[in-house]
Amino acid sequence: MKNVAIIGAGTMGNGIAHTFAQNGFKVNLIDVNNDALKKGIQTITTNLDRMVNKEKISETEKSTTLSNIKTFTNLKNGVSKADLIVEAATENLELKLKIFKDIDEACLDSAILATNTSSISITQIAAATSNPERVIGMHFMNPVPIMKLVEIIRGYNTSDVVTNSIMALSKTLGKEPVEVNDYPGFVANRILMPMLNESIETLYNGVAGVYEIDTVMKLGMAHPMGPLQLADFIGLDVCLSILNVMYEGFKNPKYAPCPLLVNMVRAGKLGVKSGEGFYDYTESRKAEKIAKQFIKA
């Protein structure tokens, strides 16, 4: 398994492409938007430059990594010879179902189809294909090149062969794969998102301010990033989407998104990506630089 196709050149997609390419895989990075592909490659290049400056990799390794990546705007051409296809598009069920239907018609019969979804049912996504046994979840954590965890989610029909293959493959990437079952939010977001939502509720109810809530969690619970800052970093639209999936899946009011979160997303205040969320990222420095101070790059 040496040829990998990644669908989606956004934050998660380019991070996954970077990780595979740095570990010697030939990567086809696919996006319908050519500007998104250019931005994705630039992000990978910037991250590799940072690694060179920190002497974690050499200039030769950087060049080799970049040479391992080709870009495509045509999905059929990008996936036709791939051994593994990882979908990392927007967290939208209808979009994912369409992508998997299109992949299924264009890829090799032997290809494994993976989705980086953080909350949507693998079983439901697999149902859009002719062979659900080869569909599996690979939920990478952001930032992908740094974070060790990969949640491996089996759908109802995912085969043992596919599961074992993806578990072993994840280890070759230097990751720690953890197998979980196919329920809304899986493990990571089933636990994380209610905490973020409750933090937003705490702000909404006037218990404390943004800075105070984040400070309590950072200093009192030893969290590296406060929950409201983390929500900004993830993207408030992404948080809302995941909570909605969990609420629909469980029909439990504890997963219902806070009205404040809903209104902020409606107003376009999405966090780091829009320049404003619970914090204002527009005044003193670029949003990415502010976010990076809370993670070790």
Catalytic residue numbers read 118, 139, 151, 189
Residue 168 in tokens: 């072993």
Phi-psi region of 161 (alpha: psi -120 to 50; beta: other; left: phi over 0): alpha
Using an 8 Å Cβ cutoff, are 144 and 116 in contact?
no
Distance CA 19, CA 47 (A): 11
Helix, strand, coil percentages, rounded to 5, for the chain: 50, 15, 35
The owner of tokens 């089933």 is: 190
Beta-bridge mates of residue 113: 85, 135
Cβ within 8 Å of residue 221, ≥6 positions away: none
Using an 8 Å Cβ cutoff, are 29 and 87 in contact?
no
Distance CA 178, CA 184 (A): 16
Distance CA 187, CA 182 (A): 9
Using an 8 Å Cβ cutoff, are 91 and 122 in contact?
no
